[in-house]
Amino acid sequence: MRASVLRTIITLYLHDCKYCLHLSQLAELPCLKYLSLRGIHVEYIDSDVESGVCQLIKFPSLESLEMCKLPNLKGVSIEEGEEQFPSLHEMWIENCPLLTFPRLLSLRNLRILKCSTMTLASISNLCGLTCLEIGNNKELTSFPEVLTNLTDLEILRIENFSKLEVLPNSLASLTAL
């Protein structure tokens, strides 16, 4: 795929592209605001690591990211930095068992379905969240203590955790909730 052909694209859906293993050129699309990925076997959405200092802001306009059934996805970017996803404010995730979150300072709304304990534990990196919805975990009996850093959290929705016995103690520290 040549990024120059798609420079003005705003919305992109990539669904059930099993043999698509690299999406690094998507990071350079200046107008992309909404990205939906389903059934793709990538490890990272942005896996392009350039040698030396990288001056390029990755996904400069992306506001909303939907990821579903990405069994190999480990993270949104192979390299962390504040230059990654500077406009991202909404993320929807379903069935991405290996995913962990980097620091995404602009992210405000997060919905996670069928997540692993590892994914839940990395939510503490998302300190700007105001809305967190988590659901459909049939195995978890106790909720990890990840909410302490989420001081801006106003809405917390936990549903379909059929074996959940204990809520986290950190709920008491959420003053905006």
Per-residue pLDDT of the chain (177 residues; tens, 9 = 90+): 454 677 899 999 999 998 888 887 888 899 999 999 999 999 988 766 553 434 467 889 999 999 999 999 998 877 665 567 899 999 999 999 999 888 888 999 999 999 888 888 888 888 889 999 999 888 888 777 777 788 888 898 989 988 888 877 777 777 666
Which residue, chain included where needed, has tokens 């392009």? 48
Residue 68, strand partner residues? 38, 94
Report the C-alpha gap between 99 and 44 in whole angstroms.
9
pTM: 0.86
Query: Please, are residues 23 and 45 in contact by the beta-carbon 8 Å criterion?
Result: yes
Report the C-alpha gap between 132 and 174 in whole angstroms.
13
What's the residue count for the chain?
Answer: 177
Report the C-alpha gap between 170 and 33 in whole angstroms.
34
Classify strands 75-77 and 109-113 as parallel, antiparallel or unpaired.
unpaired
Query: Please, are residues 93 and 73 in contact by the beta-carbon 8 Å criterion?
Result: no
Q: Is 11 helix (H, G, I), strand (E, B) or coil?
A: strand
